[in-house]
Structures are given as structure tokens and as C-alpha cells.
């Protein structure tokens, strides 16, 4: 089926998930879709949005509306950011570039993971949208410094340090399917790919995607490390982040905060924005849903620090709830991953377009015309509390 016809049938992120499930080999779909441990955080991320209900302020004149937001001294047309997605080239050929171009069609930032299969110069050339970089901090400071230099020289406008991945998590779907690096074929994996011919005919000629970008920077004395366990620094604390603040002069974000008490430390450390995240339920199993703790973060920083948030956002209503509770913008992870797996750049652009119209209509039905006018009076907790 051609792309335009395929996308005509897709009306929600849930539709994109179903389409991705059909096209991707099970091991790749499970890598995208799965979570850590019992997947209780993954389930909680979805369930939590149901506890926050919207209270429309209608009647109101909503004939003129804007979804624009301000961040880091600039204006963005939508309160959305495409989150870093490692190994995106296993979803689509050069999937990272398709994500970048899809985001650029809407003028929203796209974050390149350093666990990517494309090089920095290719990434920078992909579309003319805002480009941010995400760093998994390696064990060596020398290597960390090199990443900052390379990302800066390449032209990335902002950087996110991910802090919720101090050690790798146990993702049982990946373990059971053998989706790990270095990749080794088994009869079950071969069967998996031959029974998904669309994916295989697209990706096959390019070979199994490897995180080349990760290997690009020497990992310290031992050189390139073979797997995730040795690629991450388990000694990532605020001292290191403060040190990094001096290495990276452009906007710096800490991604993966869950404890509201960390917000003030971030502010004092000169961080430009925080990203409340539980990594989409892929790291600490049993973690609290991000929307649940957002109000505490907002109370801690009192408007002094922009708050980005991700984990579990699938609809415009989810996004509006977070903005009403005080978030500045929302990062989308799997929503973009399912879309790029389904239809590459066009899929990503379509997914963002769907979210844009859902945000717009939710806001309008709430009687609100500007993102800045969303506020906590539009939210009731199930059970009646604010």
C-alpha cells in the first residue's frame, strides 16, 4: 500500500501503534513497545492520565487560537518535542533522519540520541528544524567532553543529559527475544524477519543497524565498548553535571528527573530546563507516573525553570493536561517511534499533525485560546481533589 493511502487510515497514535505492530518484526516492535521488569510503570504511565480529568471553562470565544510556546528565548509553533530514540534505524532506514525531517515539517525540536546509527553531520543536514542532542554520559570525562565538543561543533542547539539510566534496566521482552548488542542471529530471529517482508525488504539491504555514533567517540582508555553496561557511567551525580555545565555553553537540560527535590538543585546548578521522565517505563520499574509528580515540581521551581515532561503521552488531551498543570512542553517517544516505523518521515509528520489537531480541539473545547492560559483550574483529580 502506498504511504498516502496508508496514512489516510491512521487517525490516532493508537492506530500508529497497531500499524507498527503489523510491520515490525516482533523483536523490534517489542524493543519499541516494551518496558522494564513487570512493565508496571509502562501501565501506570497510561493509567495516570485517566485520574486527571479536564474541566472546560466554556462558554468562551475561541475563534482565534495559537499553540505556540516560548522556550530558551525562542518561539516554537507547538508544545511538542520529539524525544531521543536510540536505534531508530531499526524502525526505518536511517530512522533518525526521518524523525528529524518529520519534526522539521512542523518546526518542532527533535532530539538526537547518541545511541544512534547516523553521524552528526548527516543528522544536522536532515531538515531545517531545531536540533537538540541527548547524551548518555560515558564513564570517561574525556569522552564526555568530546561529546560536548562534537555536538557543539556540529551545531546542535541544546543538550539533554539522561540521568535515569545509571545502570541498564532489565527489559524482559528484549531478553526473551534476544534483542541485544552485539546482535546474533538465531532461527527464531530469522523466522521473525522473513515473516515481516515489508520491514525486511526495506532494512535488509542496509544490514542490521548498529549504533555507529556511539562507537564514534572513544570510550576512554579501553576504546569503544561493546555493550550498554560499559557505555554508561554509573557515577553520574550532580558534581558531574555541574562540571558538564561548564563544558556545554548552550541550553542544558537534565532528562529523567522524578524527585521534585532535585528541581532546586538543577536550578542552582544553572540547568536551563528539566525533563521529568521515567524513560517511558523502560528504566525503573515501579516508578511513579510523571503527570502525578508534575504539580510538585511546579511548586518547587515556581516558574523559574521550564519543565518539560514525557512518558506515556499518546493524545492531545494527555498533552493539554500536563500543560494545564504547569509543564512548558511535552516530549513524545513511542508516538514518534510507531509513526516512523509505519511510514518514515511522512508518518512522523502525520503523527505530529494528529497530536496538533487533538491539542487544538481539546484546548478549544476547554474554552482556551493560548497555551499560556491553560491552568490548574481546568483539572480535577478523580475523587474530587484538585
Ligand X SMILES: Cc1cc2nc3c(=O)[nH]c(=O)nc-3n(C[C@H](O)[C@H](O)[C@H](O)COP(=O)(O)O)c2cc1C
Q: List contacts with ligand X (CB under 6 A).
A: 31-32, 45, 83-86, 113, 115, 134, 162, 255, 277, 279-280, 282, 310-313, 332-335, 337
Catalytic member of 106, 196, 206, 279: 279
Task: Name 348's bridge partners.
Answer: none
- C-beta nearest to ligand X: residue: 333
Burial class (CB in 10 A: 0-12, 13-18, 19+), 386: exposed
Smallest separation (angstroms) from ligand X to the CB of 312: 5
DSSP letter assigned to residue 320: H
Smallest separation (angstroms) from ligand X to the CB of 135: 8
Measured CA to CA, the distance from residue 114 to residue 112 in angstroms comes to: 6
CA 159 to chain centre: 13
Measured CA to CA, the distance from residue 127 to residue 146 in angstroms comes to: 25
Decide: 278 and 258 in contact? Cβ < 8 Å. Answer: yes
Cis peptide preceding 59, ω within 30 of 0: yes
Decide: 143 and 219 in contact? Cβ < 8 Å. Answer: yes
Nearer to ligand X, 169 or 368 (CB): 169
* Cβ count near 357 (within 10 Å): 11
Smallest separation (angstroms) from ligand X to the CB of 91: 8
Strand bridging mode 80-82 / 158-162: unpaired
Smallest separation (angstroms) from ligand X to the CB of 202: 18
Smallest separation (angstroms) from ligand X to the CB of 380: 24
Nearer to ligand X, 45 or 144 (CB): 45
Measured CA to CA, the distance from residue 136 to residue 330 in angstroms comes to: 20
Q: Within 13 Å and on the Cβ side, how many CA atoms surround 268?
A: 8
Nearer to ligand X, 273 or 368 (CB): 273
Smallest separation (angstroms) from ligand X to the CB of 42: 8
196 an active-site residue?
A: no
Nearer to ligand X, 333 or 368 (CB): 333
Decide: 131 and 110 in contact? Cβ < 8 Å. Answer: yes
Element (H, E) at 335: helix 334-365
Decide: 71 and 306 in contact? Cβ < 8 Å. Answer: yes
Measured CA to CA, the distance from residue 275 to residue 307 in angstroms comes to: 6
Nearer to ligand X, 228 or 305 (CB): 228
Smallest separation (angstroms) from ligand X to the CB of 123: 13
DSSP letter assigned to residue 370: B
Nearer to ligand X, 126 or 337 (CB): 337
Nearer to ligand X, 189 or 279 (CB): 279
Measured CA to CA, the distance from residue 26 to residue 56 in angstroms comes to: 41
CA 282 to chain centre: 12
Residue positions annotated with a catalytic role? 279
Amino acid at each position: 500500500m502506498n504511504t498516502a493511502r496508508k496514512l489516510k487510515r491512521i487517525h490516532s497514535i493508537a492506530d500508529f501503534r497497531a500499524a507498527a505492530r503489523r510491520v515490525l518484526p516482533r523483536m523490534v516492535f517489542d524493543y519499541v513497545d516494551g518496558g522494564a521488569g513487570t512493565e508496571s510503570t509502562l501501565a501506570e504511565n497510561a493509567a495516570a492520565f485517566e485520574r486527571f480529568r479536564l474541566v472546560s471553562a466554556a462558554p468562551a470565544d475561541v475563534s482565534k487560537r495559537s499553540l505556540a510556546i516560548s522556550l530558551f528565548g525562542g518561539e516554537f509553533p507547538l508544545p511538542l518535542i520529539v524525544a531521543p530514540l536510540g536505534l531508530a534505524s531499526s524502525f526505518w532506514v536511517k530512522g533518525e533522519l526521518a524523525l528529524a525531517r518529520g519534526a522539521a515539517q512542523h518546526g518542532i525540536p527533535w532530539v538526537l540520541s547518541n545511541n544512534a546509527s547516523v553521524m552528526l553531520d548527516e543528522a544536522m543536514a536532515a531538515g531545517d528544524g531545531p536540533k537538540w542532542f541527548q547524551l548518555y554520559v560515558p564513564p570517561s570525562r574525556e569522552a564526555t567532553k568530546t561529546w560536548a565538543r562534537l555536538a557543539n561543533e556540529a551545531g546542535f542547539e541544546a543538550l539533554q543529559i539522561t540521568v535515569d539510566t545509571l545502570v541498564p534496566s532489565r527489559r524482559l521482552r528484549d531478553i526473551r527475544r534476544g534483542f541485544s548488542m552485539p546482535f546474533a542471529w538465531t532461527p527464531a530471529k530469522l523466522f521473525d524477519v522473513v515473516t515481516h517482508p515489508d520491514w525486511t525488504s526495506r532494512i535488509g539491504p542496509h544490514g542490521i543497524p548498529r549504533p555507529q555514533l556511539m562507537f564514534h567517540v572513544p570510550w576512554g582508555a579501553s576504546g569503544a565498548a561493546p555493550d550498554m553496561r560499559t557505555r554508561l557511567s554509573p557515577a553520574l551525580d550532580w558534581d558531574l553535571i555541574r562540571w558538564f555545565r561548564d563544558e556545554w555553553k548552550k541550553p542544558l537540560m537534565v532528562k529523567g528527573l522524578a524527585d521534585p527535590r532535585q528541581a532546586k538543585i538543577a536550578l542552582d546548578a544553572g540547568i536551563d530546563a528539566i525533563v521529568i521522565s521515567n524513560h517511558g517505563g523502560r528504566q525503573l520499574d515501579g516508578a511513579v507516573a510523571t503527570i502525578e509528580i508534575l504539580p510538585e515540581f511546579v511548586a518547587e521551581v515556581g516558574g523559574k525553570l521550564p519543565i518539560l515532561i514525557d512518558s506515556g503521552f499518546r493524545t492531545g488531551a494527555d498533552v493539554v493536561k500536563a500543560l494545564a498543570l504547569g509543564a512548558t512542553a511535552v516530549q513524545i517517544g513511542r508516538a514518534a517511534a510507531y509513526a516512523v516505523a509505519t511510514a518514515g518521515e511522512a508518518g512522523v509528520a502525520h503523527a505530529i499533525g494528529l497530536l496538533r489537531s487533538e491539542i487544538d480541539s481539546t484546548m478549544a473545547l476547554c474554552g482556551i485560546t493560548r497555551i499560556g492560559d491553560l491552568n490548574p483550574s481546568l483539572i480535577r483529580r478523580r475523587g474530587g481533589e484538585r
